[in-house]
Amino acid sequence: MTAAKLVIGNWKLNGEVARVRAFAQRAARDWPGCEAALCVPHTMLAAAQAAFGATPLRWGAQDCSAEDEGAFTGEVSARMIREFGARYVLVGHSERRTALGETDGQIVAKVQRALAAGLTPIVCIGEKAEERDGEQTAMVLRRQLLQLVRALQGGLASVVVAYEPVWAIGSGDAATPGMIDHTLGFIADTLAFHGGVSAGAVRILYGGSVHPRNAGAILSRKSVAGVLVGGASLVPDDFIEICKAAARCSAPRHEIHIQQGSVSAQ
Ligand code: PGA
C-alpha cells in the first residue's frame, strides 16, 4: 500500500467554474505535495480538466450511473466522466443513499461501471446516529461491504473505501481518532476476512467534519489512508491546510537497507 495519504474534496451541490479556477491558481502556487483530488459537479468536469491538468491536483465526480448507455434520461455514465480525464468517482454517499434511496446493489453496479471505465471508485459507507446508538454500527458496515466484496473479488484492491459516519457529516463534530481507529480496523478486518485482501491493500479514508484544526490528529493515525472532506473543501485555504497535514503525515519513502545478507525496510 502507498504510504501517501489521500485527500478527496466533495463539493456536493456547490461551487462554480470560477472556484475551480481559483483552486487551480492556488494549487499551482503553493502545493504541499500530497495526493489530492476535488470531486466536483458533473458540469464542472471540463473546467477541472482544463484548470487542474497542469497542477498536482486531480479531479473526480460525485456519482456515476449504474448503466453504461441507453434510455436513462439525466444519467451520466462512468465512461462519460472518464472522458474528462477524471481519476475518481464517489459512489454511495450517504446523502444519495438516504435522499435518493440508492441501494447496496445499485452501488455495486456503479462501482463495477467505474472500474470498467478506468476510474477509481470511492465507496462511501457509514452508520446513522440511531444505528450507532443501537450498537448496530458493525452490522450496518458489514452489510454495506459484503455485496461489494462478493461482486468484486480480485478487483477489491482498486477501490477506495470512505468511512463516513452519517452523524458526523456536516455536524462540525468529527468522530474521535480513537473511534476512527477502531472502526477502520473493523472495516479492514472485514475486507480481509470476506474479500481475501491483505491488510492495508484497500485504502480506507475517514470523512465527516474534517477541518484544518482536526485534520492532523485524524491523518496521523496509521489506520487512516486519507480523508474525504465536504465543507472545508470549498475554501482553498482550508483545503490546502488539510493537504499540508496529509503531506506531514505521509510516511517518508521506505528505504531498503541490505545488511549482511538480510533485507529490512525502514
Ligand atoms: P463534511 O462532509 O466534511 O462537510 O462533514 C463530508 C462528506 O459528506 O463527504
Judge if pTM exceeds 0.85. Answer: yes
Ligand 1 mean position to 247 CA, how many Å?
Answer: 20
Residue from 209, 211, 219, 233 to probe ligand 1 pocket by mutation (most atoms less than 8 Å from CB): 209
pLDDT band at residue 155, thresholds of 50, 70 and 90? confident
To the nearest whole number, what is the mean pLDDT of the chain?
92
| Contact of 110 with 66, CB cutoff 8 Å | yes
Q: What are the structural domain ranges in the chain?
A: 6-265
- According to the model, what pLDDT value does residue 261 have? 36
Say if ligand 1 is within 6 A of residue 238 CB.
no
Ligand 1 mean position to 93 CA, how many Å?
Answer: 10
Q: Position of cell 503553493?
A: 30
CATH code of the region 6-265 = 3.20.20.70
Per-residue pLDDT at 256 exceeds 60? no
Say if ligand 1 is within 6 A of residue 180 CB.
no
Q: Give the ligand 1 atom nearest the CA of 207.
A: 6
**Chain centroid offset of residue 12 CA:** 14
Q: Give the ligand 1 atom nearest the CA of 228.
A: 9
Ligand 1 mean position to 251 CA, how many Å?
Answer: 25
Residue from 164, 171, 214, 233 to probe ligand 1 pocket by mutation (most atoms less than 8 Å from CB): 164
Ligand 1 mean position to 256 CA, how many Å?
Answer: 38
Say if ligand 1 is within 6 A of residue 214 CB.
no
pLDDT band at residue 13, thresholds of 50, 70 and 90? very high
Per-residue pLDDT at 104 exceeds 50? yes
